[in-house]
Amino acid sequence: MKSSKKALSFFLALVTLFQVFVSSAVASDSNIATYNFDNLLINISYTLEQDTVQEKIEICEGDALTTIKKIVSVDGTMKVFIDNELYEIHENVDYIAFLNAAEETLFIPQTYSVNSQYPCGFDATHDFVSQNQETIDLTRRDLYESVLVTMILSALEGPSGAIVGSVYTMAKYILNSGAQYLDITELKFYVHDSNPPLDMNCFHVHMRANNITTNNKKDVVKDYWEYYQYVL
């Protein structure tokens, strides 16, 4: 009788251990960060479920809460949901960048040479890989901070945690300046021996606020650059 009880206890322990293992293998949260700005509270978290990375962004302004989810598949397809409704689908997104963000290996350099060959602070040769460009029409609706930050973060094809501070700074400037359009360009470069012997991908994100002149030309009212990298 005692041996039966021991066998049953051992079996139940194995079942519990298996459930814990499966649960941790199916989904895990990491790199959860909270950003406090003047009028906004932004939470960004990453969930890795098998080969799919989910970036979840919660934007709180007063009692209003907006949730953005970016579901990134290993084939580079990214589905963007705003408050659980499908907003848009991107192709050829850098899946590894989101995976690195989830695994906390995406980084912005803390120290670098201000006299380097490239504005990101690295001297090693940058080989162009790809470019994503988006234009946001800022005249379509009444804007306030959470709406504008949501529009910008939804348009970006890279991990939001890397540049959320710059996005907020740009959004605040736009609201104060009354700019009509925002052009966003994301440039991806391959960098060999960035920190010898390491190779990396380097992202240069350019946000440019414009007004349209009477000659139908763009008058740039604000330029803003941000850079982030991950080691290959």
Instruction: Please say if the pLDDT value at position 9 is more than 60.
Output: no
Give the chain as a 3 state SS string.
Answer: CHHHHHHHHHHHHHHHHHHHHHHHHHCEEEEEEEEECCCCEEEEEEEEECCEEEEEEEEEECCEEEEEEEEECCCCCEEEEECCEEEEEECCCCHHHHHHHHCCCEECCCCCCCCCCCCCCCCCCEEEEEEEEEEEECCCCCCCHHHHHHHHHHHCCCCHHHCHHHHHHHHHHHHHHCCCEEEEEEEEEEEEEEECCEEEEEEEEEEEEEEECCCCCEEEEEEEEEEEEEEC
- Cα Rg of the chain, angstroms: 22
**pLDDT-derived band at 7, boundaries 50, 70, 90:** very low
Chain centroid to Cα 174, Å, comes to: 21
Our CA dihedral for 171, 83, 188, 132, rounded to 10 degrees, sits at -80
Task: Give me the phi and psi of 103, to 5 degrees please.
Answer: -95, 5
The predicted model gives 82-102 an average pLDDT of: 93
**pLDDT-derived band at 23, boundaries 50, 70, 90:** very low
Q: What pLDDT is attached to residue 29? A: 53
The predicted model gives 170-190 an average pLDDT of: 90
Longest CA pairwise span in the chain (Å) = 93
Instruction: Please say if the pLDDT value at position 14 is more than 50.
Output: no
**pLDDT-derived band at 12, boundaries 50, 70, 90:** very low
Instruction: Please say if the pLDDT value at position 28 is more than 90.
Output: no
Instruction: Please say if the pLDDT value at position 82 is more than 90.
Output: yes
List pLDDT tens digits, range 122-131.
Answer: 888 899 999 9
Provide the percentage of residues in the chain whose pLDDT is more than 70. 81
